[in-house]
Amino acid sequence: MAYELPPLPYDYAALEPFIDAETMKLHHDKHHQAYINNVNAALANHPNLAALSPDDLLRDLAKVPEDIRTTVRNNGGGHSNHSAFWKLMGPPQTPGIGGEPTGAIANQIATDFGDFESFKKTFNETTAKQFGSGWGWVVLIDGKLKVITTANQDSPLSQGHYPILGNDVWEHAYYLKYQNRRPEYLAAWWNVVNWDEVNRRLATAKG
C-alpha cells in the first residue's frame, strides 16, 4: 500500500505568471516524489502504518517506531503538505481562484481579522519571518482563525490542528522566479489561492 504521487490538478504552467512552470514541474515531479519515495521506504516493513493515510500518521507520530519517526515526520509531512498545497491553488482569473475570499471563509476572516487585507498582512508578515525552510498555515484554534508557521515539513496535524490554508516557503517553491524575495512570492501567491478548496478545508476543520 505504498503512497503514490497525486497528479497536479492543472498544467505546470497554469499558475503563470505568479508561479512559473519550471518551478511547478520540479516541485511536483521531483520534490514531492522524493518525499513519497522516502516515506514509502521507511514504512516498507511496517504494513500496519503504511495502511494509514499520511494525515493519520502525522496526527499521532508517537505510534511510529523511533528509528523511523524523524523520516516519517519529514517525508510523510512533505507528502501530506504538498498534497494539500496543489489543491489549494488554481489557475488565476478563473472563478473561485485568487481575488477576494468567498463563502464561509470570507465571513470567518471578517470576524477574526476585520478584513481580507489585514488577514493577508498577518499571513504574509508571519510567514516571511519563518527562519529557513517551512510553511505558513491558517488553522482554527478555539474557533478562531490563526496564522502559524512550522519548520521543515512539520504538519499542523501533529499539533492537533487541521490546516485550512498553507503556503510553502521552502526556497524550492519560489527561488527560480523570486530568488531571495520571499515577501514578493508571498504577495503574488494570493492570486492563485483556491477559495473553494479553502472552504472545503474550513468545513473539515470545523467538523
Nearer to Mn ion, 82 or 108 (CB): 82
Gap between the Cα atoms of 10 and 107, Å rounded:
28
154 binds Mn ion (CB under 5 A): no
Instruction: Spell out, one character per residue from 164 to 193, where the chain touches Mn ion: x when CB under 5 A holds, - when not.
Output: ----x-x-----------------------
Gap between the Cα atoms of 10 and 194, Å rounded:
12
Nearer to Mn ion, 122 or 152 (CB): 152
> Mapped to the 3 state alphabet, what secondary structure does the chain carry?
CCCCCCCCCCCHHHHCCCCCHHHHHHHHHHHHHHHHHHHHHHHCCCHHHHCCCHHHHHHCHHHCCHHHHHHHHHHHHHHHHHHHHHHCECCCCCCCECCCCCHHHHHHHHHHHCCHHHHHHHHHHHHHCCCCCEEEEEEEECCEEEEEEEECCCCHHHHCCCCCEEEECCHHHCHHHHCCCHHHHHHHHHHHEEHHHHHHHHHHHHC
Nearer to Mn ion, 108 or 153 (CB): 153
Nearer to Mn ion, 83 or 124 (CB): 83
**Minimal distance in Å, beta carbon 52 to Mn ion?**
22
**Minimal distance in Å, beta carbon 193 to Mn ion?**
16
Cβ-closest position to Mn ion: 168
Reading the block at residue 23, the C-alpha cell is 518551478
Q: Which stretch binds Mn ion (CB under 5 A): 4-12, 117-125, 162-170, 183-191?
A: 162-170
**Minimal distance in Å, beta carbon 31 to Mn ion?**
5
**Minimal distance in Å, beta carbon 95 to Mn ion?**
27
Q: Which stretch binds Mn ion (CB under 5 A): 9-17, 46-54, 160-168, 198-206?
A: 160-168
**Minimal distance in Å, beta carbon 121 to Mn ion?**
24
Reading the block at residue 95, the C-alpha cell is 472563478
**Minimal distance in Å, beta carbon 156 to Mn ion?**
15
Nearer to Mn ion, 140 or 157 (CB): 157
Which positions lie near Mn ion, rule CB under 5 A? Answer: 168, 170
